[in-house]
Amino acid sequence: MHKIVLNIGLLAFFISLIIFSQQNIPLMDVFFRAFAIFVIVTFMTGVLVIVFLKAVAKAMYEKAIQKQESMIMGNENNGQ
């Protein structure tokens, strides 16, 4: 998963590099701005992935608990 996040950040870096270089900005400023975009996009994508994975894990956990409770209730009804 970290490779996908890094690739998205690199894509943003190179796209911003192209956009900033066409605006006649000094070369060092272009690289600094593109690197700042890379860091921000990579960080935000990483946070988004972590939040998404935690939400999926929580949903799977709740579904497993619900399934376990329904199995327990089914066993109690069958025993009576």
Per-residue confidence (pLDDT) for residue 77, from 0 to 100: 59
**Structural domain harbouring 46:** 2-79
Domain count, the chain: 1
Per-residue confidence (pLDDT) for residue 76, from 0 to 100: 63
Q: Report the C-alpha gap between 27 and 20 in whole angstroms.
A: 9
Confidence of residue 67 (pLDDT cuts 50, 70, 90): confident
- Which two three-digit tokens encode residue 11? 């894509």
pTM of the model: 0.75
Q: Convert the pLDDT of each residue in 9-64 to its tens digit.
A: 999 999 999 999 999 999 999 999 999 999 999 999 999 999 999 999 999 999 98
